[in-house]
Amino acid sequence: MIRQKVFLDTNICINVANETIPRDEWLKVRNHIGAHYSYQISFVTLKELLAKISRGKDDYVEQNKKPLRVLCEIHQRQFLPYPAVFALRTVLGLTVARRSPLHISEEELYETVCEAVLQCSGKAQLKRGVPYPGMPRKRFSFDLDDFDKHENGAQTEHVDLLQRMQAGSVEMSNVIELAALLLRDCGQAPDAASCNLLANALNGAYAFSRNLGELSKNAHAKLERRETDWGDIMQLYHLCDESMHFLTCDEKCRDQTQGSAQKGRILLYKELASSL
């Protein structure tokens, strides 16, 4: 029997850290996850928590690291690759990967970055170098500001696309076109069979995108406020794995996937907590 998997949305980590979610309640949920699921850490959640640290002052670095500590509290964890990479590996069995500055996998890089950030005293020290996790004689350096700037570009492009749709200069792509774009972005030549498989496997993410496309038709919609929706769409890529579940505080994620068979694997935190 395949063990079910779950990953956390960023809002859960932040709400536990600032005690909007009571600590004793979280411990029950955390224990339930550890007992019933294989715990995963998504790139998007990690990226957003690293951005919080990057954009804060060093005086608040320990406070800003609290949500990241929550993310890593469940020790039997597995880091996931970039969402598009995950989808192409899971659905099509392709051996794609994002380029890493080290001779290690994406997943190993993200875990190393996470552990290094948790032990550093601030961005400057991390950039100079900290002991490599598990190898104290080696040094590991990482530029949080550069990472944030690079990874935030996709969100900016997402808002720009919505605004161009609002202006009528481009139209919403259909699900097959989006699948082809995903393949090209990962250096793969699209074909009809691959596009159809991806289109079916990413129906939750596409349903969310389609609803945003409909919103963009409203000339008065404040689309600059939809920047974080890029992350929600990317999170839903992971549902291409039929054993994967997404735990979130945001009801919008479930509401925006109406018509998708994957909607049932979007778990609302308040519902899970109240059931325990």
pLDDT tens-digit series, residues 63-114: 999 999 999 988 789 999 999 999 999 999 988 777 776 678 889 889 989 9
SS3 label, residue 55: coil
**Total residues belonging to the chain:** 276
For residue 221, pLDDT over 80 is answered with: no
The average pLDDT across 218-227 equals 65
Q: Do residues 265 and 245 touch, judged by C-beta distance below 8 A?
A: yes
Q: Which of 87-91, 123-127, 133-137, 203-207 has the lowest mean pLDDT?
A: 133-137
Pairwise CA distance, residues 100 & 103, whole Å: 7
Question: How many CA atoms within 13 Å lie on the side-chain side of 250?
Answer: 19
How far is residue 89 CA from its own chain's centroid?
16
**Sign of the CA dihedral 196, 202, 203, 209?**
negative
Mean residue pLDDT across the chain: 87
For residue 211, pLDDT over 70 is answered with: yes
Which ranges of 93-225 does DSSP label H, i.e. alpha helix? 106-119, 123-128, 144-151, 153-167, 175-185, 192-201, 203-215
Q: Which of 89, 120, 110 is nearest to 201 (CA)?
A: 89
- Domain boundaries of the chain, sorted by first residue: 5-275
pLDDT tens-digit series, residues 159-190: 676 677 676 666 667 788 888 888 898 888 89
For residue 225, pLDDT over 70 is answered with: no
Q: Which of 93, 92, 56, 49 is nearest to 73 (CA)?
A: 49
Full strand arrangement of the beta sheet holding 244-248: 77-79, 38-41, 5-8, 244-248, 266-268
pLDDT tens-digit series, residues 244-256: 999 999 988 888 8
Q: Which of 42-51, 131-140, 164-173 has the lowest mean pLDDT?
A: 164-173
DSSP 56: S
Q: Which of 54, 46, 73, 55 is nearest to 120 (CA)?
A: 54
